Structure 1
Amino acid sequence: MRKIEVTPVTNKRERAQFVDLSYRLNANDPNWVAPLRSEALELVTPGRNPFFEHADVAHFIAREDGRPVGRISAHIDRLALAQPPEQGMGPGTGNWGLLEAADEDVAHALIHHAEDWLRAHGMNRVLAPLGMSVWEEPGQLVRGHDHPPTVMMGHQPRSHADWIESAGGYAPAKSLLTYEIDITKEFPPLIQRIVAAGEKNPRIRIRKVNKARFDDEAKLILDILNDAWSDNWGFVPFTESEIAYAGKKFRPIVFEDLIMVAEYDGEPVAFMMTLPDLNEVLAPLKGRLFPMGWLRVLRWMRRPRVRTMRVPLMGVVKRLQSSRMASQLAFMMIETIRRNAIANYGASRGEIGWILDDNQGMVAIADAIESRINREYVIYEKSLVPSGA
């Protein structure tokens, strides 16, 4: 019988081993895009990732005959515990994520160890995988393994879903979808008319962000986001530290003509963030900026040319949601960014998401512009209470 030992990460050397496992175990997947090692290490380092300020986190490495063969994180987000249970999180719900494993036995050993850690810390339910926050790379990829992910999207082996489901007790809780679209084609006539009508409305203004006021603009956008998403399944609010951290992280790939704020009667009521697909330039670097990768990235940032643009975030303030105005503002921002993406960056493809599979408003917008689902991620749930207890 195999002896797989699972132990916690307790020092800098083991943290480096934890990070390195993802590069080694995914090395043969042509569609896996290696993150920069510095960012992968920052994600799991207390004091550098503000997630640790409101979460209890443990990282574990599985070893066989002394050799690392897998990893997993387990975490309890105190902000998530405070959310209403009907929105997915809530009291007693913990998470695990960042799973990498050489085979099914290793995966099961890691998952069960993470479950035991969550139980020992008073959790009675698990939602997984989340790596680590719901705002990072949530869900297990179950559709779309045939192409690389866009910037800040996860990509896990197809086998992981089978291993999670065979670990016992796991069932899908929610699907997260991404949609792709050929942005070189004009939108359907109905959408064009909606956009044209909005452009003639003096009460509506679609403006680009002002990077000279970056901190103010970032706070404005995240304030709208926290309001717009507050009733969404899985929502956990951003903290002030996370707003500052996200601003610092996004700033190098923020381009003013790709991020729009919609104002109605002078009040900011919606936004849409679009990012050029940094993965297109990162993929050949294999996670390392040195010795020459930094120069390639720097040149790209000065004048990015990409095939794909990704819309990771958009939102309309809650009081306007489900109104015609909300969809009109969304179409106007999408169309403005579409034109800029083609003219200024040479883009031909767009990706929107992720979107909750039951978010009727966003799914309707995606359908209206004739986009199609290209990737699906599943978040699983499991009761940690023994049967009969």
Structure 2
Amino acid sequence: MSEVIEKSRLAKQASLVVGSLTTEQKNKALLQMADHLIHRQKDIIAANQEDLRRGRENGLSESLLDRLALDEKRIAAMADGLRQVSELTDPVGDQLEQFERPNGLVVKKVRVPIGVIGMIYEARPNVTVDAAGLCLKTGNAVVLRGGSSALHSNSKIVEVLHEALEQTAIPANALQLISDPNRSSVDEMLKLNGLLDVIIPRGGAGLIQNVVNNATVPVIETGAGICHTYIDSEADPEMAVDIAINAKVQRPSVCNSMETLLLHKDYAQQHFPALADRFKAAGVELRGNETARNMVSWINPATEEDWSTEYNDYILAVKIVDSLDEAIDHIQKYGTMHSECIVTNNNQKASSFMQRVDAAAVYHNASTRFTDGFEFGFGAEIGISTQKLHARGPMGLPALTSTKYCIYGSGQIRS
């Protein structure tokens, strides 16, 4: 029996237990997990250092190494995320509807755990903790398959969390990590109907499309983040600079960072050269269309590929546009329905943008970097869904539940 099947079976068995636990039991387990992360942080950091060493040897970019790196501050944030999830309202058991039929049947619709969630993700080891906390809080078991670049970090984190769970009502088998780094382990997970109830991919476009195109298990698609910021002719200049710089520079390696900056020609004529210098000072390479290069001669030419690339790095595509309509058309063509922003003081234009742009999160005068479960008050997130069924946007606790109907009768039979 393969590792994938064996661990998925153990998770399936454990899901029957964790799905019936009380909120108090689950919360106590989350707090125990948080305490263990802090208690064992030196061991986790040591394992992470090995991943970083291997990553440098294998030529990982600085932005990817940043996504991979753990320190005391990041581990503390992971533990705080678990504590915040423990304080959130447990959606399991929520009654969404109740009605009575003419024949006297009382029908109630309630939230229930999904069952066993398969999570396939790449470099960021904090996802291991976020996924474990959210899944267990909602009464689900979880089978994790992280990227090979974070194998030592993820293994140590799961070891620590298992130690914590041994002292709680949640069976440790409810949390499983696939350690096989071969692509075949991912392919096997995609076909585990009957053991996995849903698969959530989280990572680059290649990973996500492989899962979406090849899985027979149902998938909640989290999308690549080709996020745009459109600065309108009626934008506040200082606000526009602050938002654009934050959206790209604050943490370029994550999916909600800006990859393309769209500038109305009137704004660009007055402010683009100074804004370009700000990006240059921050170490950002700019790649612009012909109009942008005519305004700032030192930036590199943008190709068709640049408009559809998620860099996750200090690279930014820039396009000067003639109108709001042109900006929206560009976003609809190249966007991934993740996060889009308009900076303007014209509320009518903002309203048009917010209504017409098809994305999971649409912003007016705020950085796309806020598309995040923690920032939305969810405590953490399992991913950011860019699809339209079941869940969309940052997926917190309710997104990890399904529903069932409970029907109460007094002997009714159907004629």
TM-score, with structure 1 as normaliser? 0.32
- Which structure has the highest strand share of the two? 1
Larger RCO (alpha carbons 8 Å, 6+ apart): 1
**Which of the pair has more CA radius of gyration?**
2
TM-score, with structure 2 as normaliser? 0.30
